Amino acid sequence: MNFYRRLVALSLALFSFLPLVTDAQAQPENLIDTIKKRGKLQVGFASFVPWAMRDKQGNWVGFEIDVSNKLAQDLGVRLELIPTAWDAIIPSLIAGKFDVIIGGLTITPQRQEQVDFTLPYSTSGQGIAASKQLATNLKWPEGYNSPHVTFACRRGVAGCKTVEEKWPKATLRQFDDDAIAFQEVINGKAHAVISSEPTPSFFVIRNSDKLFKPTNENIVNTFEGFGLRKGNPAGLAGFNDWINKNQAWLKQRHQYWFRTQDWAGLVPSI
Amino acid sequence: MREPVPARQPPQAPPTVWHRSAGWDVFQFVILVVFLLSLAFHGATQMGYQWKWDRVPRYLWRVIDGEWVWGPLLKGLWVTVDLAWKSTLLALVLGALAAWMRQAPSHLGRAIAWIYIELIRNTPLLVQILVCYFILAPTLDLNREVTGVFCLAMYEGAFAAEIMRGALKAVPKGQSEAALSLGMSLHITQQDIIWPQALPLMLPPLAGVLVNLVKHSAIVSVIAIFDLTTQARTIIADTFMAFEIWLTTALLYLSITLCLSWGVGHVEKLFHRPKW
């Protein structure tokens, strides 16, 4: 080969390794500092009544929205809400699409392996709504543990794991959101649906001819925390600090959104 | 005496011929592969993501107590293949029917076919499946598998119909005129003259329709049929290994579609293109 060809060949060979050379490991940063420097707090969440939902004007309202707003205010930054599909919320956090998940993320051991949780800032429970057409004659709870029984749930919620653990023989069908999971039961295609309270109670009240509650207690009581990427102790400490300082406010807000229907006028009636 | 004819010029030296050396081609290929791999590796490490490829094979197969058990991904693959072949047959039938009706003498037939094609082609498949399953299926009491097959077939059938219609129109009009003037019935004309000439023309685009059908079958995961995409999403919701599982799923879909493309390419070779 002549000289010029050799030169081109050599530079191509070096160029092909270029991406590896520019590989610089990201330094672990204090999340709070990053947020303050950016001037924006990016929060990931999903639509879940009454944690976060759209009001009549199309703005986001709900318990989580109140929490995110106050957190951004206290940090002195703007708030950017990033609604995400619920089953993609943890991968999106890990991929860096937002700083923190404030969306009723139940603390579970499986999730602990992937994300760091703050102290719990709210509690909730999981409830079941069953189909009057299919499930009236089923004994609670043993009758539901049969291959002929179909449960519906929203993919990614902690309730799906609960069904797998408590009723292992039943068939579990997972859907993209609560509305179609409940519609499945209303249409008589599934025996029961599991979701976080107060959603099952809401649906039973609204569809009392098709749905009923097999039991008035919560199946499982759960705690929710903020979800953060692993390896950020300073950020975790900062958020824990904030939660501790605002316990009373959080309780009052939780009471408003979950125990009363005072906000019902804000959202389109479903 | 005439001047002696001057001797012919000796032939010129031929211009330098650049031979393509095989080594240079191999070198270019190696460089491209190294560049792409280093780019992928760089992206993968920069993310700070913990890749857990060793936890993926258990979702493909497991050996429990000496017994071979298919994992959820391969079970889902089987459901997808099952769904795909049933939808394909129905789609081809619907497509042929609609293509025929669009050039039928009957005005009503043309109208029905036109409405079907335009309505189904121009609305999203996701919306069609949700409407079919949550609104139509309860009234007709259909289960989710039947709804899934039917919706997919309707959707791809609309595209197949236009492809088939194009291929039928591409057969010269003289063929059908000659056949009819020779006294062949409409049925024989279509079966022995028109369609055999149209089939090689419609096969390459129909391969695309079939591949699209397999890819669009992923959408039936919204009505919770346990197909490959549903299983993948469930595994990801449980284990959060989004990237590993999605890459594996993409490879599995690729394996189906590559087999389909190869199969249709083989069938194309069987139909030698008519030469005119």
Domain residue ranges of chain A, discontinuous segments joined by +: 31-121+225-261, 125-221
pTM: 0.77
pLDDT at B61: 86
Binding-face residues of B in 205-244 toward A, CB within 8 A: 222, 224, 230, 233-234, 236-240, 242-243
Q: Do A100 and A43 touch, CB atoms closer than 8 A?
A: yes
Per-10-residue mean pLDDT for chain A, 270 residues long?
76 75 59 88 89 88 92 92 89 89 89 90 91 89 90 91 92 90 92 90 88 88 91 89 91 84 74
pLDDT at A129: 93
| pLDDT class of B112 with cuts at 50, 70, 90 | very high
Give tens-digit pLDDT for B200-225: 899 989 999 999 999 999 999 999 89
Report the C-alpha gap between A261 and A129 in whole angstroms.
20
Chain B residues with beta carbon closer than 8 angstroms to that of A155:
233-234, 237
Q: Do domains A31-121+225-261 and A125-221 have the same CATH topology?
A: yes
| pLDDT class of B48 with cuts at 50, 70, 90 | low
Q: What is the least distance, in Å, from the CA of A21 to any CA of chain B?
A: 9
The two three-digit tokens of residue B139, written as one number: 């009234």
Is residue B127 pLDDT above 70, yes or no? Answer: yes
Q: What is the ipTM of this complex?
A: 0.73
Q: Say if the Cβ atoms of B49 and A90 lie within 8 Å.
A: no
Interface test with A, best of B141, B240, B244 (most A CBs within 10 A): B240
> Higher confidence at residue B4 or residue A126?
A126
CA torsion through residues A230, A234, A235, A239, sign: positive
> Higher confidence at residue A5 or residue B42?
B42
In the CATH scheme, what is the code of domain A31-121+225-261? Answer: 3.40.190.10
Query: Which among A1, A16, A155 has CB closest to B237?
Result: A155
Distance separating the N- and C-terminal Cα atoms of chain B = 62
pLDDT at B165: 95
Report the C-alpha gap between B205 and B199 in whole angstroms.
11
Q: Does B199 touch chain A (CB under 8 A)?
A: no
Query: Which among A5, A16, A25 has CB closest to B35?
Result: A16
The domain made up of A125-221 is a member of CATH 3.40.190.10: yes
Residues of A with CB under 8 A from a CB of B: 1, 5, 9, 12-13, 15-20, 22-23, 25-26, 87-88, 90-91, 94-96, 110-111, 113-114, 152, 155-156, 160-161, 173-176, 180, 183-184, 187-189
Domains of chain B: 70-270 (1.10.3720.10)
Q: What is the mean pLDDT of chain B?
A: 89
Q: Do B24 and B18 touch, CB atoms closer than 8 A?
A: no
Q: Do A160 and B111 touch, CB atoms closer than 8 A?
A: no
What are the contacts of A167-173 at 24+ separation with CB within 8 A? A167/A141, A169/A145, A170/A144, A170/A145, A170/A146, A171/A147, A173/B224
Is residue B272 pLDDT above 70, yes or no? Answer: no
Q: Say if the Cβ atoms of B237 and A16 lie within 8 Å.
A: no
Is residue B268 pLDDT above 70, yes or no? Answer: yes
The two three-digit tokens of residue B235, written as one number: 């595994």
| pLDDT class of B1 with cuts at 50, 70, 90 | low
pLDDT at B18: 67
Give tens-digit pLDDT for A117-134: 999 998 888 999 999 999
pLDDT at B161: 96
